[in-house]
Chains A and B, each alone.
Chain A
Amino acid sequence: MNAPLAPNALVAEMSPVSTSDQIATMKTALLKNIQRSAYVYRVDCGGCNGCEIEIFSSITPVFDAERFGIKVVASPRHADILLFTGAVTRSMRMPALRAYEAAPDPKIVVSYGACGCTGGIFHDLYCVWGGTDNIVPVDVYIPGCPPTPAATIHGFAVALGLLEQKLKAETHVEAAGEAAALPHPDIPYALRVRLEREARRMAGYRQGRTIVEEFMALLEGHARAPGALTLPDRMTAAVGAERDPRRAEIIGRLAEVVQRTIRGEAP
């Protein structure tokens, strides 16, 4: 009775809006000699409002995008730049298109945030159309989740042709004989794993890694040049020299791990 439905039949294929050549030349002319303020209209296509907070913090006195004439306006009819934030959701697609149509030509479309660029973390949701470029032609992409106010200003500068983009597509091809270096070959693997685990448990992956790297450099230094001080003394000295009590605690624990491993006890 119920015929099986092909999943593709449920997806509506919409043709993206295309711009004519005349508008393109008008846009380049606008970018070349923009002698006035650039008015920005913000179109929320269904984001989490993190991007909006960053946009408003970039027009606060600290970052002050208004010193470049970038001004957020309340109507798309006043806008030169349309700022699309958030992944294009099914229900916000039409309002977003209406805002695009309402803005006078030539207009610059900026896709803002990870969701605006590609759909971001919501890219495979049932109600998400994808990035802004699926519905309107986009001039500049500003990635970030959300982009910081400084990244926002950089993005506007790229959109207005004041700064060059820094990112370029790159492909690395593995060279012959390329090998990943083995970290700390002088330290036994079992001990290294124990130290890394303890440091990560105490301080998290980022600070933990920094601390354990410092600590292992200390151990390796001892292995290479065993001076007058014994290893336990050296570790005690390192704990004593540490001014941050939290780091001193962690380094003390790492020293304990080394002692226990030397004694052959379970960690």
Chain B
Amino acid sequence: MLKLLKEILRTGEATVKYPFAPMEVCKDFRGKPEHRAEDCIACAACTVACPANAIQMETDTAAGSRTWSINYGRCVFCGRCEESCPTGAIRLSADFELAVGSKADLTRKAVFTLAGCACCGKPFAPAKEVDYVARLLGQSARSAEEAERLRLTAATCPACKRAQDVQQIAGMGIARQMDAGHSESEHAVKERETTP
């Protein structure tokens, strides 16, 4: 009997104190994905990466807004969103107390505004994303003019870029043809000159 009591005292209590004391979790515990909307550029990388479609984005071009939303009830805590986030805006925290009484409390949303294209003015990408990309490109630009050019490139929608490219290439083609025609006639003249 005494031996048993001794053994019990030696072993101590195995049960955690959890609901009465905070629970210690390990360092890289994958808990609730914490989204800092201030750092988010609404690039949709997490939306694409999310295997359970817990993170979703809806673009409303009429209202000029993009709504980012996460449903914690569908999240499988894989951390792919954190892995794909270019700005580190989403990070899996140590918070695991997610139980709720109503399903609506499981969703979290963030609304971002869309930026209009610098060329045609139609909304095409979140304003924060365009701004971030322009600043990132401007960081490695050699001159202020190049930075401005890169900013314009970032702020132009793909359709306008394509139209501009087509114009540019068409212009190049005409110039080359004209060049080619010119040189050919020159060549012919030269040939005529040299032939006896």
- The total of Cβ contacts below 8 Å across the A-B interface reads 169
Which residues of chain A are near B89, meaning CB under 8 Å?
180
Which residues of A come within 8 Å of B, CB atoms? 61-64, 67-68, 114, 117-121, 123-124, 131, 133, 138-145, 147-148, 150-151, 153-155, 157-159, 162-163, 165-174, 178-183, 185, 188-190, 205-207, 209
CB under 8 Å from chain A, chain B span 14-51: 14-16, 18-19, 23, 28, 32, 37-41, 51
The reply to whether B53 and A189 contact each other, CB–CB distance below 8 Å, is: no
The reply on B196 being an interface residue by CB < 8 A is no
Tell me the chain B residues, 62-87 only, with Cβ under 8 Å from chain A.
71-77, 79, 82-83, 87
Q: Are A142 and B99 in contact (CB under 8 A)?
A: yes
Q: How far is the CA of A178 from the CA of B23 in the complex (A)?
A: 35
Contact A114 B52 (CB under 8 A): yes
Question: Which of B38, B88, B103, B132 is close to A117, meaning CB atoms less than 8 Å apart?
Answer: B103
Specify which chain A residues have a CB less than 8 angstroms from the CB of B19 in the assembled complex.
68, 153-154, 157, 162-163
Instruction: Tell me, rounded to whole Å, the shortest Cβ–Cβ distance linking B64 to chain A.
Output: 11
16 further interface pairs, Cβ-Cβ under 8 Å (given A165-B99, A179-B128): A117-B74, A118-B103, A140-B100, A141-B103, A143-B74, A145-B77, A147-B96, A153-B18, A165-B101, A166-B97, A167-B98, A172-B108, A174-B128, A180-B128, A182-B132, A189-B140
How far is it, in angstroms, between the C-alpha of A29 and the C-alpha of B3 when the chains are bound? 47
Q: How far is the CA of A139 from the CA of B88 in the complex (A)?
A: 35
A168 close to B28 (CB less than 8 A):
no
User: What are the nearest 6 A-B pairs in CB distance?
Assistant: A117-B73, A155-B99, A172-B37, A145-B76, A172-B110, A121-B52
Residues of A within 8 A of B83 (CB): 205-206
A183-B96 in contact (CB<8A)? no
Question: Given A118-B73, A141-B99: A64 and B15 within 8 A (CB)?
Answer: yes
Are the C-beta atoms of A171 and B100 separated by less than 8 Å?
no
A39, B127: Cα distance in complex, Å: 53
Tell me the bound Cα distance from A206 to B26 in angstroms. Answer: 14
Provide the bound-state CA to CA distance between A166 and B99, in Å.
8
Which of B18, B37, B95, B105 is close to A168, meaning CB atoms less than 8 Å apart?
B105
* Residue contact B106 to A190, C-beta cutoff 8 Å: no
Asked if B106 contacts A167 (CB within 8 A), the reply is yes
Contact of B23 with A119 in the complex, beta carbons under 8 Å? no
Minimum CB distance partner of B13 in chain A:
A61
Separation of A108 and B95 alpha carbons in the complex (Å):
25
Q: Is B109 on the interface with A (CB-CB < 8 A)?
A: yes
Residue of A141, A154, A190 near B73 (CB, 8 A) is A141
State the Cβ distance, A172 to closest chain B Cβ, in Å: 4
Give bound CA distance, A148 to B52, whole Å.
19
User: Are the C-beta atoms of B75 and A133 separated by less than 8 Å?
Assistant: no
Interface status of B149 (Cβ within 8 A of chain A): no
Question: Which residue of chain A has the shortest Cβ distance to B128 in the bound complex?
Answer: A180
Q: Can you report 5 residue pairs joining A to B where beta carbons are below 8 Å apart?
A: A117-B103, A154-B97, A165-B99, A169-B107, A174-B113
Given that A169-B105, A206-B82 are known contacts, is A124 also in contact with B74, CB under 8 Å in the complex? no
Q: What is the chain B residue whose CB lies nearest that of A209?
A: B88
Is residue B175 contacting chain A, with contact meaning CB distance below 8 A?
Answer: no
The answer, among B105, B128, B140, for a CB contact under 8 Å with A178, is: B128
Measured between beta carbons, the chain A residues less than 8 angstroms from B132 are 179-180, 182
Q: Would you call A178 and B38 a contact (CB within 8 A)?
A: yes
Contact A133–B99 (Cβ < 8 Å): no
**Assembly CA distance A53 to B101 (angstroms):** 24
Report the separation of the CA atoms of residues A172 and B113 in the bound assembly, to the nearest whole angstrom.
12
